[in-house]
Structures are given as C-alpha cells and as structure tokens.
Amino acid sequence: MKLNKILLMGNPNVGKSAIFSRLTGAKVSISNYPGTTVEFTQGCMKVGEERPMIIDVPGTYNLNPTCKAEEVAIRMLKDGDLVINVVDATNLERNLFLTLQLLEKKMPVVIALNMWDEVKHKGIHIDINELEKKLGVPVVYTCGLTGEGIKRMIERVKEAKVQPTQMSSDIQKWEKIGEIITDVQRLTHHHHTLLEKLEDLSIKPLSGLPIALAIVYIAFWIIRFLGENLIGYVFEPLFEKLWLPLMMKTSVFLGRSGILHNILIGNLVDGAIDFGQSFGLLTTGLFVPVAMVLPYIFSFYLVLGLLEDFGYLPRLAVLVDNFMHHLGLHGYAIIPFILGLGCNVPGALATRILEERREKFIAATLMALAVPCMAQIAMIIGLVGQRGAQYVFIIFSTLFIVFIIKGLILNKILKGISPEILVEIPPYRIPQPQAVIKKLGMRLSAFLKEALPLVLLGVLLVNILYSLKIMEFFVNIFSPILTGLWGIPKEAIFALIIGFFRKDVAVGMLGPLNLTSKQLVIGSTVLAIYFPCIATYVVLLRELGVMDMIKATMIMLFVALIVGTGLNLIL
Amino acid sequence: MIIDLTQMQPNQSGILHKIHGGTGFMGRLQSMGIRPGKRISKVSSHFWRGPQTVEIDNLQIAIGYGMAKKIFVEVSK
C-alpha cells in the first residue's frame, strides 16, 4: 500500500498537535484545552523511504459533527490513507469509541496511547499487548511532549491494515469497549495530588470566582509590568541611543526635506526626529511595531501561553458561563475573546468551536466591535496613558459597556436560543518551559512576519494619502460626522482610513493631531469600534459569509456613530 | 433513589441511570463518556442555574444546567 496522506485523529485535547509537531518538526500551536486546533495543519513525515503528507486534524469525539471544527475533521477522513488515532491513555474507555468508528470506516489505524507519562501516577495500568490483540491494530505508547515512543510508532505504521469489521450500533460499540476495558485496564488507588486539589478549588463557585478574579488581575498586572518595563528600559533606550543618531545622520544626508526624506524619515518636529510623530518608514514605521507594540505582544503571549498550557482557560469558561448566557453565548465563547485580545485573527478562527450560527455571529461581531487587539491596546496605553490613566480607563470601560449592551441586544433580537456549555475540563498540567518558549516564539515571529510589513505599508500609505488632492474631498465629506458628531478634527479621517490596515498605526496617527485628552479618548474608542482590521475582516467574511458580514459591518458603523457621539456629549 | 444531575450535592456520587433527549444529544454525551451504567460524581454546581461539573472516569466535564436536568442518576440515600 502506498501512503500519501496520513491523518492524526482523536478526541479533543489528547495531544495530536504535540505528536504532529514531533513527526514533522513543524511549528503548531499546542495548549491544554479542547479546541486548540480548529483548522487542519499539514506537514511531511518520513516512513521508511516514503514521505507521506500528515495532517493534524481538529479533535472530535465521534464522527457525527457538532461544530465547524469537527466538520473539518470528518471531511478530512475521505482523503486519508491511514489514521494515526491518538488516544488519551488516561481516558482509554471514552477514547475507544472514536477508534471503533474509525475501524468501521475501513481505515487502517495505528493507535498512539498518548500521555503515557501521566498514566502511572494516576494509578492506571494498561496491558498494551492485550489491547493490540483485542483491536487487531498496532498500539504504541507515546508521550507527545517529550517525544517518547514516536519513533516506534513510525516503525509500526506499515503494519496497519484494514480490519474486517461489521457495522455495529452505538450500544454494541459501548458493550465491546466495556469488554476490552475489563481485560486490558486495571485501576489502583492513588492519592490526590496538590494539583488535583487545586483543580477542585478552581471549579467550585465559592472558591473558583475569587481565584478567577485573582488570576485575571495578576495576568494583566504581569502583562503591563513586563510590557512597560521592556519599553522603558530596553526598547526606548535602544531607539533613542542607537537608532536616533543614525536616523539624524540619514536625515541630514537626505537634505532634511524632500520626498525621499519624508517617506523614510518623515516630518521633523522642532527640527528633530520624533519617533511617535514623524511618520517615516524608518522612524515611526519601525518604532511603533517594535518599541511600542512588540513588548506588549511578548508579555501578553507569555502569560497567555502559561495559562493555556496549565489548563486554566476551560475553568474560566465554566465560571463565566452564566454571565455569557445573557449575551447569547455560552462560557466557552470566552476562548475566542481571550485569543482576540492578542490578535483578532486567531480569535475569529476560534469561533469555530461554537456550535450554532447565531452564536458565531454574536461572538464574531462582539469581538470585532469591542475586543481590541494587543497592538491597539499597547498603542492606547502608550499614547493615551501619557495624559493620565483615567483616560485609558474610560476607553476600556466604554468598550466593555458596548460589549455587554450589544450582546444583550443581539441576544434579544436574534431568533433562536443559545446552546449550553458541554466541555471537558482537562487536568492541570505544569507548563513545560521549552513548550511555552516555542509557542511564544511562533507567535512573536508571526507578528513580525505578518504585522510588520502591514505597519510599514500603512505608514507609507499615510504619506501618500496626505499628498493626494482627492483626500481633501474625503476629509470634507466626513467632516460633519467627525467634527460635528464626535468633536474631533476632520483630519482624523486619515487615521480611520489607515485603521483598515493596522489599528496600531491608526492610533499612532492621532498623536500628531494635537488633540485634547477628550478628543484622544473619542478617537481611540471609535477606532476600536468602527471596523476590524482588514486581516480580521477577511477571516470573518470567510467564517460568517457575505450576508452576515454585511449585517455585522452595519452594526459596527452604527455603534461607532452612536458611541462617538455619546462620548462627545458626556465627557 | 433517582434524581437528576442538578439535584446531586457536591462530592455525591452515583450510577448514571438514564439520559432523556434526542439521539444527537445522547450521542454527544455518550462519546464524551457520559452514558448509563457509569459511575458519576458531582464536583460543583454554579449559581443561578449555572453549569454543573461532574467527574466521570478520570475526567471532569462541565454540563449546562438544562442538559444536566435531563441526566438522571441513581444515588444511594
């Protein structure tokens, strides 16, 4: 048999991605919560002389899909030649249901009994040889995080062949699983570990809610502390001491004016370069993404990575479930929002873990509207924070209020009910430093590769826009809204236009406009609400479809209009 | 005595007796390991008809209140 496509399949959160990463060396996101992988990822592996493609399929409990991520999984099955069925060895019984379904689909299967390292201290004993005999397929124990057993698994891929099985009902399958389990698995008593006690405490409401508040508070405190200090002690000095002199020389070399000077260095403020206001490619274009945004991206993803790998997020989801129901969502929708705080693009993709179309629509529009990404947050803290913390507070509380009101309204007017939460809560696991660092590195390099070019393009566009005559026309058309309703200078329309590309650059553009603190607050809030950046928009368009996206766009523009005007009246 | 999941007290355990609901719902619960005959214990229940967390085999699962109402458990008095 020739192997072209191998599928990695299994229940959610059993470690498919960890094994995938071991097999291919590819960089994929691995966390400790169900639904980390919502899209399939493919790579190449080596089996003897062959180099088949291997696909990391989103987790699924059975072959009847209940959400988009599972649909993706089941569609993949048709094209596969072989399935590596990743099984959580600590939950053998439940995992075998999918295994039997796969065997009935006449797929050659190899079983990877993953998380083998956890089996021993959970007091579980599994007779692998017996399991192999019962199922008639190769069974190998593995540990995706350390790589144990992976080599032996690859060696045995060739032994997998289609099993002669009869179709059976669900009940028959469970009976069969019951027989298998009695023969191959033995449980011995084990003492509750400290982590398990902590698991219980953080899921009980009386202790769980204070713990959640503390964790969220500490998380944001660390993010701010790290971000601020990285900027203050590392990045700003680097730019001021090393890059500024070089840029000043370049400025003189270019004759301190002219088109090329304006594009590369930008405008001189009082005869000097101002990294925040000059708006040249080499000055503001580098300073904004590297010195203002990157430190916050770093600290956010470091903290997020630790929480993800520890397994805290599903617990938070359960604790906020009640509250989220008022917004037409269930608790697990907090996952897209948390990811969206880093960058709205992965957040938008993560809405796939939600079951209903209505839920996805609410979650996606709420995120686009009221969940600013870390790049934008960093700029708001950097720029508005200079005027005083209270202004930053006004912006974020406005967004939070918008989030709640819009959720309440959509929940009322959209037909249908919000489905209930049904999610497994993984055990706490101590995050492994290498894994955390690797994931952080992936996210940082994704930011530099994807965001940096767009930031530079945005800054270039700023320069071009300012020099175009047609823009005066635009400025005048929108001035009734900007000056009339929102009370900000009509030139701020440039920031709104650039906001389509990058929100961080757009917020930065408010800097040189000499706004009052009130105007700065209104400008930043409107920028957060009126439209997601183009990258997010494209993903949302794909996820929601054209019609829903038109609706979503109308909502965003409408809310921006109302909130901007409201703030102008109240403040 | 047979009660539904929401009526169980934290730390109480019993044998799952019956699940009411459509095949889709049953299938979804079953494939997560929630099915009749299994020993199930309650971990916590959240305020205001919030989700119920249970432990089945080695795994904790959070179940919405309405769903939990349809899951019946045989507990010893």
Q: How far is B35 from chain A (nearest CA, A)?
A: 9
Per-residue pLDDT reduced to its tens digit, A362-408: 999 999 999 999 999 999 999 999 999 999 999 999 999 999 999 99
Model confidence at A292: pLDDT above 70: yes
- State the count of interchain CB pairs (< 8 A) between A and B: 104
How many angstroms separate the Cα of A236 from the Cα of each of A503, A506, B37? 21, 20, 64
Residue A418: its pLDDT value, please? 81
Q: Say whether both A180 and A216 belong to one domain.
A: no
Q: Residue A97 — very low, low, confident or very high, per pLDDT cuts 50/70/90? A: very high
The whole-chain average pLDDT of chain A stands at 89
Nearest CB to A122: which of B47, B51, B58? Answer: B58
CATH assignment of B2-74, given 1.20.1090.10, 3.60.10.10, 2.30.30.90, 3.30.420.40? 2.30.30.90
A129 inside 8 A of chain B by CB: no
Cα–Cα separations (whole angstroms), residue A169 to A174, A178, A455, B15: 9, 14, 56, 23
Question: CB of A32 within 8 Å of any CB in chain B?
Answer: no
A181 and chain B in contact, CB less than 8 A: no
Question: In chain A, how many domains are there?
Answer: 2
pLDDT at A157: 87
Question: CB B31 to CB A98 under 8 A?
Answer: yes
Indicate whether A121 and A265 sit together in one domain.
no
What pLDDT score does B77 carry? 66
The helix (run of H) or strand (run of E) holding residue B9 is: none
- What are the domain boundaries of chain B? 2-74
Residue listed under structure tokens 């129901």: A325
Nearest-by-CA chain B residue for A322: B50
Low-confidence ranges of chain B (pLDDT < 50): none
A196 is a domain residue: no
Looking at the fold, whether A142 and A275 belong to one and the same domain comes out as no
State residue A79's pLDDT score: 83
Higher pLDDT: A410 or A145? It is A410
Q: Do B10 and A204 touch (CB under 8 A)?
A: yes
ipTM: 0.93
The yes-or-no verdict on residue A61 having pLDDT over 80 is yes
Is the minimum CB–CB distance between A173 and chain B shorter than 8 Å? no
- What is the band of A1 on the pLDDT scale with cuts at 50, 70, 90? low
> Which one-letter DSSP state was computed for residue A291?
I
Residue A234 lies in a domain: yes
3-state secondary structure B53-64: EEEECCEEEEEC
Residue A198 inside a domain? The answer is no
Question: Do A410 and A502 fall into the same domain?
Answer: yes
A94 in contact with chain B, both atoms CB, cutoff 8 A: yes
> If you average pLDDT over residues A464-473, what whole number do you get?
81
Q: Is the pLDDT of residue A146 over 90?
A: no
Q: Are residues A290 and A408 in the same domain?
A: yes
Closest-CA distance of chain B to residue A22, Å: 26
pLDDT, tens digit, for every residue of A323-341?
A: 999 999 999 999 999 999 9
Question: The whole model's pTM is what?
Answer: 0.88
Contacts of A64 in chain B (CB under 8 A): 24, 27-28
Q: Do A156 and A253 belong to one domain?
A: no
Interchain CB distance below 8 Å, A422 and B62: yes
Answer yes or no: is A19 within a domain: yes
Contact (CB<8Å) A322/B66:
no
pLDDT at A432 over 90: no
The minimum CA-CA distance between B10 and chain A, rounded to whole Å, is 9
CATH number reported for the structural domain that contains residue A23 in this entry: 3.40.50.300
Contacts of residue B21 in chain A, CB cutoff 8 Å?
Answer: none
Alpha-carbon A192 to chain mean position: 33
Residue finishing a domain among A161, A187, A213: A187
Stretch A162-171: mean pLDDT: 83
Q: How confident is the model at residue A565 (pLDDT cuts 50, 70, 90)?
A: very high
Provide the pLDDT for residue A360: 92
Which residues are CB-neighbours of A336 under 8 A, at least 6 positions away? A347, A348, A350, A351, A353, A354, A363, A364, A367
Average pLDDT score over residue span A151-172: 85
Same domain, A423 and A502: yes
Q: Is A428 helix (H, G, I), strand (E, B) or coil?
A: coil
Chain A CB contacts of B52 below 8 Å: none
The pLDDT tens digits of the residues spanning A224-260 come to: 999 999 999 999 999 999 999 999 999 999 988 888 8
Residue bearing the bigger pLDDT, A424 or A469: A424
Residues A337 and A479 in one domain: yes
CB-CB: which of A91, A174, A314 is closest to B57? A91
Q: Domain span at residue A508?
A: 205-570
β-partners of residue B39 are B15
| Residue (of A29, A27, A135, A31) closest to A83 by Cα position | A135
**Higher local confidence (pLDDT), A166 or A390:** A390
Say whether both A163 and A52 belong to one domain.
yes
Is residue A92 located within the same domain as residue A48?
yes
pLDDT class for A561, splitting at 50, 70, 90? very high
Burial class of residue A527 in the structure, from the number of CB atoms within 10 Å of its CB (0-12 exposed, 13-18 middle, 19+ buried): buried
For every residue of A293-310, which 3-state class applies, written as one string?
HHHHHHHHHHHHHHHHHH
Classify residue A163 as exposed, middle or buried by CB count within 10 Å of its CB (0-12, 13-18, 19+). Answer: middle
**Statement to judge: residues A413 and A467 lie in one domain:** yes
Instruction: Collect all residues from B whose CB is shorter than 8 A from any CB in A.
Output: 10, 24, 27-33, 35, 43-51, 53, 57-67
Q: Looking at the domain assignment, is residue A218 inside a domain?
A: yes
* Residue A203 contacts B, CB cutoff 8 Å: yes
Measured between CA atoms, how close is B49 to chain A, in angstroms? Answer: 8
- What's the pLDDT tens digit per position in A199-230? 888 988 899 999 999 999 999 999 999 999 99
Q: Is the pLDDT of residue A192 over 80?
A: no
Same-domain check for residues A174 and A241:
no
